[in-house]
Amino acid sequence: MTASAKHLEITLETQVESVNLAEEMCLRVAEAAGFGEDDCYRIGMSVREGVINAFHYGNQERPEKKIYLALDITSEKLIIHVLDEGTGFTLADVPDPLAEENLLSTSGRGIFLMRAFMDEFEVVTGRTGGAEIVMSKKLPVPVG
């Protein structure tokens, strides 16, 4: 990272309230970074979905487990990491929510939204052994 890069991280409890906290924190950072209303909505929704997945699927709602949220702002983009303490998963194994047989299922919709709303999206094995979602959005070009 360059000297102008910024890093922020927080450890969240595995509880429903952490979803709103994570979203609010990321929205404030996105606004401060110059993102407009539409992009802030997309970023907020993506963080919300990522933390919900970490809470429900990753940590299986077990309160002794933690969710780790990190944000990096580089000269080019906002990068968001959501890491759980679960067993991880393979992205290819997540059902396509647009497939006819899955239209009434909720599985895979959060990942679908994160992929659609962010410029980059991937899932890697995190330092805890759980899933780490890494997603980014290019910074807006300043006007003038």
Specify the CATH number for the domain of residue 70.
3.30.565.10
Residue 1 within a domain: no
Query: What residue numbers bound the domain in which 79 lies?
Result: 6-138
DSSP 62-119: -TTSEEEEEEEE-SSEEEEEEE-SS----GGGS--TTSGGGTT--TTHHHHHHHHHSS
pLDDT tens digits along 82-92 = 999 999 877 77
- Tell me, yes or no, whether 143 lies in a domain: no
Q: Give the count of domains, the chain.
A: 1
- The verdict on residue 53 lying in a domain is yes
Tens-digit pLDDT profile for residues 14-67: 999 999 999 999 999 999 999 999 999 999 999 999 999 999 999 999 999 999
